[in-house]
Structure 1
């Protein structure tokens, strides 16, 4: 392809992306007419944009993808949607029975789960989160197992091979996790590739996976795929999560609880 043709293709991709983001959904025929190129050319362009994670192709057209932005540090996020996270945390804790072994992942919502465990008896909690470990360290009713690993400072979490190897030797009744982005099409996704590798092992360490997520996490896609949505057995969210999203999640066989 000549340099001039490459430049025209780049300009056309930018035009397509602008139109899709503006309208959210647009048909191939409309793009062909507006840009003055053939439908096969448009389909090739859409394939390129989809491979870049910028759009999602659908029958006869294309839809915009909302890309999750990089998360601020966990300390900063702890004050965002705090009331919703506290309600979600209490709802998740209510599902935990005395005597169970649970894995509790990193994040601000999972920290609220840890805070709500007060009063539980004879629990074993496995965690890769420093803030969760600190919260639970003084509770004599909890046997606390800390995975070790490489500290991801912004998240107060431990990731990498040490965590993954430790979890391969352990089993939990329930794994309670949070996630950067949740999409019906792309499933569970995260921003950090190393953290994603650890997350893939986490969701395999328990018989039941419970996802805790406020409404801001849904309908978004981040860089790295962790697992399909059907990996999750229960989702606990807040009352602001859209009804159509809840219905589609339930249609996948996932139990959804609104706190």
Structure 2
């Protein structure tokens, strides 16, 4: 990542929160504290962010123009519940017994992952809520990613790569979807998605149809990397056409439980 790309990532992160610490930026960008401080100095000099003790703060004008941002897991879990259940049911049919899969954090992936509790599969996840559920209620083989706890999205993340974990499938959600690919707001989530996608044969995206209307600034994965996208029947004809034209296998789950 170049200096300009890092600094743009910091600005984009500040569009959804008032303050980011040096430590958080180290983890999100994968660079040293010294590099983060140099980037903060440059942003402060350019007048696009404010250098403060321990990190960097957003300017008031920037906060008034916030782009779509992810809700905390506990809030997002109760949105589009029926859509998420339908997507989870359809996605479960893609899981092969005896296989190893990676399940990303997020409420749709959580709903999906809970359905695997009694399946004969190996699950690797960075989701604290999903790990807790499977540990208490499941018999599947469970591996949990280590690292620092990020409470609002409910994830564990280690900026220092640990032992490699390869899987047949990587199930991932997103804050938004466009012709560019799946979109996120937080650089940390982008890093994790890129890392895990390199460790799986198939990338399967689980998103409810409302995500096609959101445009977060960062592309986590281009459409060319996605094998299958599972969404609900609320998807528009234009978005359905866009996904298929990109060569992605599209599964449309109906609320009744049927799929197209």
Structure 1 stretches of 4+ moved >6 Å: none
1:118 positional shift: 4.0
1:239 aligns with 2:233: yes
What is the aligned length?
188
Q: How does 1:12-91 map to 2 (within 5 A)?
A: 68-91=67-90
Specify the SS of the correspondent of 1:199.
helix
Q: TM-score, normalised by structure 1?
A: 0.69
> Normalized against structure 2, the TM-score is what?
0.69
Superposition map of 1:92-107 within 5 A: 92-107=91-106
TM-aligned CA deviation for residue 219 of structure 1: 3.9
Provide the rounded CA distance (Å) in 1 between the counterparts of 2:125 and 2:71: 21
2:206 aligned partner? 212
Q: Determine the structure 2 residue equivalent to 1:257.
A: 251
1:170 equivalenced with 2:165 (yes/no): yes
Equivalent pair of 1:174/1:210 in contact (CA under 8 Å): yes
Aligned to 2:177: 182
Deviation at 1:172, TM superposition (A): 0.3
- Output one character per residue of 1:6-37: Cα deviation in whole Å (capped at 9) or x when no partner: xxxxxxxxxxxxxxxxxxxxxxxxxxxxxxxx
Q: Is the 8 A contact 1:68 1:180 kept in 2?
A: no
SS at the partner of 2:108? Answer: helix
Q: Which runs of 5+ in 2 are unaligned?
A: 1-65, 254-260
Partners of 1:151 and 1:136 in 2: how far apart?
Answer: 18
User: Looking at CA atoms only, which structure, 1 or 2, has the larger radius of gyration?
Assistant: 1
Task: Give distance in 2, aligned partners of 1:133 and 1:104.
Answer: 10
Q: Deviations over 1:203-254 (max 9, x none)?
A: 1110000000001111432132212111110000000011121112111111
Matched, 1:227 2:227: no
Higher relative contact order (CA 8 A, sep 6+): 2
Q: Mind listing any 5+ residue stretches in structure 1 that lack a counterpart? A: 1-66
Other-structure match for 2:134: 136
Cα displacement (A) at 1:116: 1.4
What's the Cα RMSD here? Answer: 1.6
